[in-house]
Chains A and B, each alone.
Chain A
Amino acid sequence: MKDEPMSRAENIRFEVKILDTGEKFSCSASDHLLRAMLALGRKGIPSGCHGGGCGVCKVKVTRGTFTSLVMSRAHVSEEEERDGIVLACRVMPTSDLEVEVVGKLKKAITRPKAFGLV
């Protein structure tokens, strides 16, 4: 199942810096970046499906190492993945990280709706 609670054996924590805002948060090696950000009440990175399918939590990891779970090719191409572009809900840190928010949907989510639903 997704979103497994962390096991005590994997409770190593790393520091993640969001370059867009300069803010830092702590993420355990067994937790995904998105949930760690949400746990701190971070704004700016949208929370969607937490399953790698919807693509709204796109970030670029510019420094550090991580492990990742399968994510939708509709949102992250192989080329992007090679460049460190990933979905935050699929990434578990194995070192301290620096990330940038890159998703094109970020703009769509923050712009006011002109016609109710769009």
Chain B
Amino acid sequence: MGVMRIGHVNLRVLDMDAALGHYMNVMGMKETHRDAAGNVYLKCWDEWDKYSLMLTASDRAGMNHIAYKGEKDADLDVFKKRIEDYGTAVEIVPAGTLFACGRALKFNLPSGHEFYLYAEKEFVGKDVGVTNPAPWPTDKKGIAAHWLDHALLMCELNPEKGINKVQESTDFMMKVFDFHLAEQVVVGPNQDIKAATWLFRTSTPHDLAFVGGPVMGLHHIAFFLDEWNDVLKAADIMAMNNVKVDVTPQRHGITRGYTIYFFDPSGNRNETFAGLGYLAQPDMPTVTWTEDQLWRGIFYHTGEEAGAFTSVYT
């Protein structure tokens, strides 16, 4: 029973051809379906479900919804009751509402983000198969990211008005879905305002993160790479393709991951995130970053804000 991992994200893109050029030729994803409405579904080579990214043409960038995968279909009934008991409106949408998925819970996080939980999605398989597989496929384009790893959602934070959707969304994910709090940033005169949180269900430090900002939105979706050399190569490939890089290769203090931040052609921020970070376990103590060391936590080497990290998101 329980949530396993991030399932997929539905992003809005301004130009579908440009978006596909980015996610297929630069990130190395593969198109697995295109529906009558023109939505395009893609997967990474190391994923086995039908898709982890759904692209929707729109006149504005950003995220339509985010979906996580639960272990068993019957879990959905348990979680539906928990969500209702928490006081949040929730509905069960029938199989096929989310393309190639079973029935799903649909609700909004306290931050407002549209969220789905499903337990079944059409199986496609990894590119390397399951019988005596090669460690990686040789026919991938660009960065050849392994899988969609996590997302960071921006939540309204306005302490002067008593608004903290980071706190509310974190509480919700922990109490309703048994997410664990790996790390947090606390700010304010009493260091008691949760300004950012990193939550996990897998054995890595985050499957979902919340950061406070003026308005809700999508900060980034992250794709997994193995290790530091892959990060360097990924940055090279971004430069070769004139991808707008926001922050060049760095280590995060928070989660210890190796990172690059960059933008897709519609301005949605992407990350390549490499390394385990550390083994995350339900009984691990939460790591806290204080306001004065906040930027050391985010960009460990410089300890300073870089790029347009907090000022720009969709």
Contact = CB atoms under 8 A, between A and B. Distances in A.
A3 interface: yes
A108 B213 CA distance: 11
B157 A54 contact: no
B163 to A, nearest CB: 10
A44 interface: no
B294 interface: yes
Contacts of A54: 61, 263, 267, 308, 312-314
Nearest to B22: A1
B212 A117 contact: yes
A24 interface: no
Contacts, number: 127
B252 to A, nearest CB: 15
Interface stretch (B13-21, B87-95, B99-107, B121-129): B13-21
Contacts of B310: 113, 117-118
Chain B CB within 10 Å, residue with most, of A47, A72, A108 = A72
A117 B61 contact: no
Interface string B1-36: 000000000000011001001100000000000000
A51 B267 contact: yes
Interface size class of A (residues with CB under 8 A): 20 to 34
B265 A51 contact: yes
Interface size class of B (residues with CB under 8 A): 35 or more
A38 to B, nearest CB: 11
B211 A117 contact: yes
Contacts of A2: 18, 242, 244, 265
B51 to A, nearest CB: 22
A51 B312 contact: no
Chain B CB within 10 Å, residue with most, of A47, A69, A115, A117 = A117
Given A108-B311, A117-B212, A118-B213, A53 B61 contact: yes
Contact of B263 (A49, A73, A75): A49
Nearest to A50: B244
A71 interface: yes
Given A115-B159, A116-B195, 10 more contacts: A1-B241, A48-B263, A49-B266, A49-B314, A53-B60, A54-B308, A54-B314, A72-B61, A72-B314, A115-B291
20 contacts: A47-B308, A48-B267, A49-B246, A49-B269, A50-B267, A51-B264, A52-B61, A53-B62, A53-B268, A53-B314, A54-B267, A70-B14, A73-B60, A75-B60, A114-B159, A115-B195, A117-B196, A117-B310, A118-B157, A118-B214
Of all A-B residue pairs in the complex, the 5 with the closest CB atoms, nearest first, are: A53-B267, A53-B61, A49-B267, A51-B267, A48-B312
